[in-house]
Structure 1
Amino acid sequence: MAKSKEARSIIKLKSEASDHCYFTQKNRNNTKERISLRKFDPVVRRHVMYKEASKV
């Protein structure tokens, strides 16, 4: 039998204000589109938008 792909995948969230990034997981079955979250950026020391850059 063929292996089924995992529902959860590790993604990279890239800051819009600097080169900082976070790594997190998302469920591909529930969230098909790219995600964007508002998170704290320690480089610029404020909350900014982080967008999904690529899968790892």
Structure 2
Amino acid sequence: MASDKRIKATMECTECKRRNYTTVKSKVNTRERLELSKFCPWDRKHTVHRETR
């Protein structure tokens, strides 16, 4: 059974605004939105990806 403390987070590229990645984060430990540097296949470079709601 899945715990309610860990949620799925969709990551969106800050440059092309496409939703490229999904990840799982802890709702208890990480209250703010995630920001990760990930590879964007449309821009063909590493860009900042932010968590969407």
Tell me the TM-score range normalised by the shorter chain. Answer: 0.7 to 0.9
Q: Which blocks of at least 5 consecutive residues in structure 1 are unaligned?
A: none
Conserved 8 A contact 1:20-1:43:
no
Structure 1 Cα separation of the partners of residues 35 and 42 of structure 2: 19
**Are positions 1:27 and 2:18 aligned together?**
no
Question: TM-score, length-normalised on structure 2?
Answer: 0.84
**Are positions 1:53 and 2:52 aligned together?**
yes
Conserved 8 A contact 1:34-1:51:
yes
Query: What does residue 15 of structure 2 align with?
Result: 17
Kindly report the root-mean-square deviation, in angstroms, between the aligned alpha carbons of the 2 structures.
1.3
- Figure out how many residues of one structure are paired with residues of the other and give that number: 50
Q: Where do 4+ consecutive residues of structure 1 move more than 4 Å?
A: none
Query: What does residue 37 of structure 1 align with?
Result: 36
Q: Which blocks of at least 5 consecutive residues in structure 2 are unaligned?
A: none
Kindly state the Cα deviation for residue 49 of structure 1 after the two structures are TM-superposed.
Answer: 0.2
